[in-house]
Amino acid sequence: MHEFKYIGNELHCETVKISDIAKKVDTPFYLYSYKTLLDHYYKLKKAFSSINPLICFSMKANSNLAVLRALIKEGAGLDIVSGGELYKALRIGANPKRIVYASVGKTDKEIREAIKNKILLFNVESVPELDLINTVAQKLKRKVDVSLRINPGVEVDTHNFIATARQDNKFGLDLDTVKFLFSNLKRMSNVNLIGVHIHIGSQITESHPFIEAINIISSFVDELKKDGVRLKYFNIGGGLGIIYREETPQTAQGFAKAVLPYLKKLRLKIILEPGRFICGNAGILVTGVLYIKDTRFKRFIIVDAGMNDLIRPALYDAYHEILPIVESKFKSQNLEKADIVGPICESADFLAKERPMPRLESGDLLAVMGAGAYGFSMSSNYNSRPRCAEVMVIRGKFYVVKKAESYKDLVKGEIIPKVLR
Ligand code: LLP
């Protein structure tokens, strides 16, 4: 469910006509619905209300400050993966005691900053990382709380690039290593091992892989209990899938119903790290048609958004629905297959392939749906294209929440050495 709907003949974001926004903001731009964002957060919060979990929004999905601010105002915590994300989180006034930090490659500097800022937990992914956290904590004369990320080794039906719990993935620790670490706690004078973490992958539409993973962790936690180890946290990660095409993902309620019986038995504080579920359908990419190019083989609809703006189709062959801002464009005509492509010099620069589309013309506006997660956050300056603007509709008004970059921004920080002058 989301708040991008046709009212009359025109696609709206909540009550605001998208074509009106496009009169003020150059395309391409990302457009977010505040209401959809909050609705999804509350769907999850309500579904899990019986255990009152800490919901840490995974900010890699969308780290726009306004998006983050909207969520933390409602009590969300944040799942971070870098010093940059910590910086942004603190900038918007996030409570460090609601920040958890994953990533397989935390640097010395990042660890120091996170300890100094007193985040809730590190999700540790390797033994040398744990050693480094211990050393840094020692130097800072602090004792820090740590969860160990366990790779439960479950198969997940999703794109290979976003499955993270197979035995041969780089993420997390295997159970034997985790057991070893818990039984050799003494050598870690400055860390408290107080939790376990999993994140089995992304865009998962069924509950059974979660249940399988949770069961593996539950038996493990029981074993630890027998050995006298008391944990406080179990972080079940993110990964809840959304509808891009014809998926029938579990609802927040369905997911909660499936996993709650297992989670309740554990009697631990549960942490969730949803990203896509909260912001995926809360955002679209608005793009303008530049040219229609008919070749002997194909029709190309060339638009002003490229793979630098939205890389998901190029990287994962991801499907995003593409809607005309004016609905009658689609309804009144015979549709013909076309590739919707960007201006970038790569054949992978497409938003859709072989998509039934009406006859469009230069200046028509299109909405690339489901672009709120891993859209802007994965954008780049490839082909020296400034990153586009981000806009949010809040209670009937729209706000530019990030200005489009300028050409000047493109050269920021670049230096021509004297010898070349
Ligand atoms: N927690 C951890 C430790 C993660 O690595 C991730 C995502 C999440 C939570 C949030 O997962 P979500 O709820 O959003 O599925 N760029 C890809 C997705 C990569 C996901 C990386 N990790 C895409 O565009 O589909």
pLDDT along the chain (421 residues), means of 10: 94 98 98 98 98 98 98 98 98 98 96 98 96 97 97 81 73 90 84 95 94 94 90 97 94 96 95 98 98 96 98 97 91 86 97 95 97 98 98 98 98 97 90
Match domain 63-274 to its CATH number in 3.20.20.10, 3.40.50.150, 3.40.1360.10, 3.40.50.2000. 3.20.20.10
Listed residue (225, 213, 196) closest to 258, CA to CA? 213
Distances (CA, A) of 237 to 35, 51, 172, 228: 24, 16, 12, 25
Could you give the 3-state DSSP secondary structure of residue 117?
coil
The gap from C-alpha 222 to its chain's centroid, in whole angstroms, comes to: 32
Indicate if 345 belongs to the active site.
yes
Which of 200, 276, 315 to mutate to test ligand 1, by most ligand atoms within 8 A of the CB atom? 276
How many CA within 13 A on the CB side of residue 267?
3
Distances (CA, A) of 201 to 40, 175, 222, 263: 19, 18, 24, 19
Instruction: Output the ligand 1 site: residues, CB below 6 A.
Output: 58, 60-61, 79, 102, 162, 199, 202-203, 237-240, 273-277, 312, 316, 373-374, 378
Residue 111, strand partner residues? none
Could you give the 3-state DSSP secondary structure of residue 245?
coil
Residue 184 has a pLDDT of 82
Which of 149, 160, 273 to mutate to test ligand 1, by most ligand atoms within 8 A of the CB atom? 273
Measured over the CA atoms of residue 307, residue 309, residue 315 and residue 318, the dihedral's sign is negative
For strand 191-197 and strand 54-58, is the pairing parallel, antiparallel, or unpaired? unpaired
Residue 332 has a pLDDT of 65
- Residue 312 phi, psi dihedral angles, 5° rounding: -60, -45
* CATH superfamily entry for domain 4-31+280-410: Lyase, Ornithine Decarboxylase; Chain A, domain 1 (2.40.37.10)
Residue 163 has a pLDDT of 72
Indicate the domain borders of the chain.
4-31+280-410, 63-274
Residue 392 has a pLDDT of 98
